[in-house]
Amino acid sequence: MSLNQPISDFKNKNIWLIGASSGIGAACAKWFFAQGANLVLSARRTEPLELLAKGVSNSAYIVPIDVCDQQSIAQASKEVLTHLKRIDLLLFVSGVYEPVQANTLNYLTAKKMVDTNLLGPISVLEQLLPTFLAQQSGHIAIVGSVAGYSGLPKSLVYGPTKAAILNFAESLYMDVSPQGIGVHVICPGFVSTPATAINDFKMPALISADEAANCIGQGLMNGDFEIHFPKRFSRFLKFLRILPYPIYFWLIKTFIKT
């Protein structure tokens, strides 16, 4: 059962994509451009966005944003709302990942991930929710991770930021879905991107960024609240959540080698 209004197609839909400079965000930009959407592309660095836009569409509108800076967020939001007038989809992909274990835990690394992965989308939505509520329509999609389902090796900080995003999206859905606004939380498994390239272990069920973008697009078109993939991995992790901890920890140690 779809919890959100399905999106029949993206032709001429206005989309603000934050985090489009590389990885899943860049792949999503290409996917939505191919569907005929009107995109505003945002990231901290504009050079990759300009190269991306030249390769896929001359109609792309580029707005720089630093999702850890309140002034940058406010300025970017104002420019985007002036340019688009209305927003059909906000897709927040920006995120940072660093493997952290007990022996490498430090405050600055943790703060960077919390500021980007959690406070970033919250700060953007502080600016945009009045517009969505006035429209009584539109969709909000935030990239979380299967790492937010439960504790995983080398995910001592990253995992909690994504668990918080899951909780935030659930609460947001209950607040705004009666107003006609769709909410989607996107939970990828391992995707081949510059972020995951730093991992020094074999990543199970690894998929390409283009595959991830297609899963995201199809999930939005289906109206899914949670868009998780690849299913062969995400369903396994979902199953683990319901197991007693002794079994859970044994299975994680057995099947996820680090």
* Contact in structure between 52 and 21 (CB atoms under 8 Å): yes
Spell out the domains of the chain, with CATH numbers in brackets. 14-255 (3.40.50.720)
Q: List, for residues 48-86, the tens digit of each pLDDT value.
A: 999 998 877 667 899 999 999 999 999 999 999 999 989
pLDDT for position 202: 83
Peptide bond into 230 cis (omega under 30): yes
pLDDT for position 159: 98
Contacts for 191-199: CB closer than 8 Å, 24+ residues apart = 191/23, 191/24, 193/22, 193/23, 193/24, 194/22, 194/23, 195/23, 195/95, 195/96, 195/97, 196/97, 198/97, 198/98, 198/99, 199/99, 199/154
Q: List, for residues 196-226, the tens digit of each pLDDT value.
A: 878 877 888 999 999 999 999 999 999 999 9
Q: Evaluate if residue 91 carries a pLDDT over 80.
A: yes
Record the pTM: 0.95
Q: Evaluate if residue 257 carries a pLDDT over 70.
A: no
